[in-house]
Amino acid sequence: MKPEIQLAVFASGNGSNAQNLITFFEGSRIKIALILSENPNARVLQRATLFQVPSVIFSMSELQNGQVLQQLKGYGINYIVLAGFLKLIPASMVQSYQQRIINIHPALLPKFGGKGMYGSNVHKAVFNAHETETGITIHYVNEYYDKGAIILQKQVALTPDDTPESIAAKISELEMKYFPESILQTIEKHNS
x-or-dash string of contact with ligand GRF, 36-55, rule CB under 6 A: --------------------
Give backbone dihedrals phi and psi of 150, rounded to 5 degrees, phi first: -80, 135
From CA 76, how far away is CA 100, in angstroms rounded?
Answer: 13
Query: Which of 104, 125, 138, 152: binder of ligand GRF (CB under 6 A)?
Result: 104
Q: How far apart are CA 8 and CA 97, in angstroms?
A: 12
CA dist 48 → 18, 73, 153, 160 (Å):
9, 20, 28, 38
Binding range to ligand GRF, per CB under 6 A, among 15-23, 49-57, 109-117, 146-154: 15-23
User: Which position among 45, 78, 84, 180 is part of the footprint of ligand GRF (CB under 6 A)?
Assistant: 84
Catalytic residue check, 105: yes
Judged by CB under 6 A, does residue 13 bind ligand GRF? yes
14 binds ligand GRF (CB under 6 A): yes
CA distance 144 to 71: 23
Under rule CB under 6 A, residue 119 binds ligand GRF: yes
Q: Report yes or no: 54 and 34 within 8 Å, Cβ to Cβ.
A: yes
CB 75 within 8 A of CB 3: no
Q: How far is the CB of 96 from ligand GRF (least distance, A)?
A: 22
Q: How many residues bind ligand GRF (CB under 6 A)?
A: 16
Which one among 15, 135, 148, 180 touches ligand GRF, defined by CB under 6 A? 15
C-alpha distances out from residue 153 to 130, 131, 139, 178, Å: 20, 16, 9, 9
User: Looking at 105, 123, 139, 190, which residue is catalytic?
Assistant: 105
Under rule CB under 6 A, residue 106 binds ligand GRF: yes
Please give the C-alpha separations between residue 149 and each of 21, 97, 163, in angstroms, as whole numbers. 21, 14, 30
Binding mask 171-190 for ligand GRF (x = CB under 6 A): x---x---------------
Binding site for ligand GRF (CB under 6 A): 11, 13-18, 83-84, 104-106, 118-119, 171, 175
Show which residues are catalytic.
105
